[in-house]
Amino acid sequence: MSEGIFKNFYNSRRWRGCAKAYAKSKLHICERCGGYKTGTKDDGSRQRWVVHHKKPMDAVTIQDDNLAYGWDNLMFLCIECHNAIHHEMDTYSRHISLTSGGDLLHARRREVSFDENGDVIYINDVDKLDRNTPP
């Protein structure tokens, strides 16, 4: 597969707009570890984040707008969690023929409260332990 397909996709205005809107909708809070990611980390380096596709992109899925841009297939992750998921996917796929990282994602349910001005006053992330219950 040509790397150009992915480069063009991830550098496109449409993807960047989709990813930024999705990240904003998740309040820039990693959906796996729950850590709030600001512009810089404690050590002064810039925090990086990724809008991750739960069903990985390939030559077929990248052509499907529902998978490529659909928010049901996206997850906001800090770079550390994103790298860990891909490492786990690579490790498990070699040993047990796992083809998707969906089961490795740590799903959360988010409770958010706002004041009369629309400002966030309360955020509570609840771990989803029952994988048979939809988020």
The reply to whether the predicted model has a pTM over 0.95 is no
Report pLDDT digits (tens) over 64-85: 999 999 999 999 998 888 888 8
Mean pLDDT along residues 110-130: 68
Report pLDDT digits (tens) over 81-119: 888 888 877 766 554 444 444 554 554 566 777 777 777
| Cβ atoms of 90 and 108 closer than 8 Å | no
pLDDT of residue 119: 74
> Which pair of structure tokens corresponds to residue 25?
């909708």
